[in-house]
Amino acid sequence: MNGAPAVKVTYREAVRAAMREAMQRDARVFLMGEDVGRYGGTYACSLGLLDEFGPERVRDTPLSEGAFVGVGIGAAIGGMRPIVEIMTVNFSLLALDQILNNAATLRHMSGGQVGVPLVLRMATGAGRQVAAQHSHSLENYYAHIPGLKVLAPATVEDARGMLWTALLDPDPVILFEHATLYGTEGELAEDAGAVPIDRAAVRRAGRDVTVVGYGGTVAKALEAARMLAERGIDAEVIDLRTLRPLDDETLVASVRKTRRAVLVDEGWKTGSLAGEICARLVERAFYDLDAPIARVCTEEVPIPYPKHLEDAALPQPGRIVEAVLATVGGRG
């Protein structure tokens, strides 16, 4: 991309670097949430930021999601640029009223007078055996709502670069960080900075089938593509990156090329984002398809505690491979 040398960083470090840079660049930016300060963040994303920026700008809040998200909305209206962290998407439901009825809606119902330049970050997803009140993927709840922009950084580059772009946005943006990604490592240019937030990315080019994932499922889709390559099937892997608005162009272009699609989504199948993408592909690329679109989603069950059941509930590379094989099976 550019000349700067690449360094290995964890996703967590990339999130932290993004927040640090944002606070250095813009005095209006501050971080607020449960245990973001002294504790260093539930996932250690904000470790050290309290020392660097002080308690005015790194604010530990009481356990009161409804209040501190709403306060973030108010502060954004009042001219600040808050980054509000919610520990886990399950807890964001306590603030759903503020997010839907205020953040997403104020601009429209005020006739365009009141904008909410708020950034919300939260962890999402399963895979750590933390059971049914800490594991869900509710991204599509938010992707359903006009007025919000919804992002799912899956790489260290996006974890590093999406935040600043989100902060420049005049409207509320939610970043979903899959909890299993924080410890993962990737290569990042030393001078890496902001990235666009309006396009999906082709993470692996291929000819035979389009596999779509986002957040925590991108690595699984890539792993499936590797397994498929061994069987002579060349899968294209798309990382949605932005869940609202969806980048239809990239999706349709890929499917026009491969003529097959398998959609991977850690949300429950019924009412899933994968369902929405399926509908869009049917609307826009029906005659380009050679096989029914397949979906690999989470089984219709709250995430169970035991590992073998949790694994079975979630999309896995093996299930993606099976779905692809069924999809390309009809190929002559």
Partner 1 sequence: MTSAATLEPPPGFVPLDRAHALSLLHEMVLARRFEEKCAQLYGAGKIRGFLHLYVGEEAIAAGVMPLLDAEDAVVSTYREHGHALARGIPAGALMAELFGKVQGCSHGRGGSMHVFDVSRRFYGGNAIVAGGIPLAVGLALADRMQGRARVTACLFGDGAVAEGAFHESMNLAALWKLPVLFLCENNQYAMGTSLERSESQPNLALKARSYAMEVERVDGMDVLAVQAAARRGLDYVRAGRGPWFIELVTYRFRAHSAYDPELYRTKDEVATWKARDPIALFTALARERGLLGDDDVASLERGADDEISAAIALAEAGTLEPVEELTRGVYAEEAAR
Q: Helices 156-168 & 11-25, crossing angle to 10 degrees?
A: 30
Shorter beta-carbon distance to ligand TPP: residue 42 or 250: 42
96 touches partner 1 (CB under 8 A): no
309 touches partner 1 (CB under 8 A): yes
Choose the one of ligand TPP, partner 1, none that binds residue 79, judging by a C-beta under 5 to 8 angstroms depending on kind.
none
Kindly give, in sequence order, each residue whose CB lies less than 8 Å from that of residue 258, ignoring residues fewer than 6 positions away.
Answer: 206, 207, 208, 209, 210, 236
CB of 136 to ligand TPP, least distance (A): 13
Exposed / middle / buried, residue 73 (Cβ in 10 Å: 0-12, 13-18, 19+): buried
CB of 133 to partner 1, least distance (A): 4
Q: Helices 248-258 & 273-285, crossing angle to 10 degrees?
A: 60
Could you identify the residue written with the tokens 């606070």?
23
Torsion of CA 210, 176, 150, 37, to 10 degrees: -160
Shorter beta-carbon distance to ligand TPP: residue 34 or 310: 34
40 touches partner 1 (CB under 8 A): yes
134 touches partner 1 (CB under 8 A): yes
Choose, by CB under 8 A, the member of 38, 79, 112, 146 that binds partner 1: 38
Catalytic residue set: 65, 134
322 touches partner 1 (CB under 8 A): no
Helices and strands in the chain, H and E counts: 13, 14
Choose the one of ligand TPP, partner 1, none that binds residue 72, judging by a C-beta under 5 to 8 angstroms depending on kind.
none
Q: Which of residues 48-77 bind partner 1 (CB under 8 A)?
A: 60-67
List contacts with ligand TPP (CB under 6 A): 34, 63, 65, 87, 91, 94
Shorter beta-carbon distance to ligand TPP: residue 60 or 311: 60
CA gap 87, 84 in Å, rounded: 10
Whether the Cβ atoms of residue 182 and residue 11 lie closer than 8 Å to each other: yes
CB of 190 to partner 1, least distance (A): 28
Q: Name the closest residue to ligand TPP (Cβ).
A: 91
Whether the Cβ atoms of residue 149 and residue 96 lie closer than 8 Å to each other: no
Torsion of CA 39, 186, 202, 245, to 10 degrees: 10
Among the listed ranges 7-15, 38-46, 204-212, 324-332, the one in contact with partner 1 (CB under 8 A) is 38-46
Closest CA to 331 of 234, 251, 238, 242: 234
Shorter beta-carbon distance to partner 1: residue 38 or 146: 38
Whether the bond into 245 is cis, omega within 30 of 0: yes
Choose the one of partner 1, ligand TPP, none that binds residue 62, judging by a C-beta under 5 to 8 angstroms depending on kind.
partner 1
Q: Which amino acid is at 186?
A: G
Q: Given the rule CB under 8 A, which residues bind partner 1? A: 34-35, 38-40, 42, 60-67, 90-91, 94, 128-134, 299-302, 304-309, 312-313
